[in-house]
Amino acid sequence: MNKQKIAQERIEILFKLAQEEFDKHPERSKRYLELVDKIRTKVNLRLTKEQKKLFCKKCHTLWIKGKTLEIKKCAKLPDIYICKACDTERKL
């Protein structure tokens, strides 16, 4: 197995853990997502489009619609994802 494949698998596990821990341990959830970023940078891996929509790249908060995330829909344009934790806007 190559490094990227292993990294991809680890990242998927970390996403799952971050989602499981979010309600009870938001800080732990954040740490998992920081790890995702670290692993990703280390092996130069691109997250999938779906994975990018799961959390804030800036503050590593897990995005839950209506809770930590607001989505602005624009016709013919990419949606704007607004992180409610740090107010960062991203087109996704």
Site residues (vs Zn ion, CB under 5 A): 56, 58-59, 61, 83, 85-86, 88
- Nearest to Zn ion of 9, 89 (CB atom): 89
Three-state SS string over the chain comes to CCHHHHHHHHHHHHHHHHHHHCCCCHHHHHHHHHHHHHHHHHHCCCCCHHHHCCECCCCCCECCECCCEEEECCCCCCCEEEECCCCCEEEC
- Cβ proximity to Zn ion, 21 vs 70, nearer residue: 70
* Residue 43 vs 52, nearer CB to Zn ion: 52
CB of 86 to Zn ion, least distance (A): 3
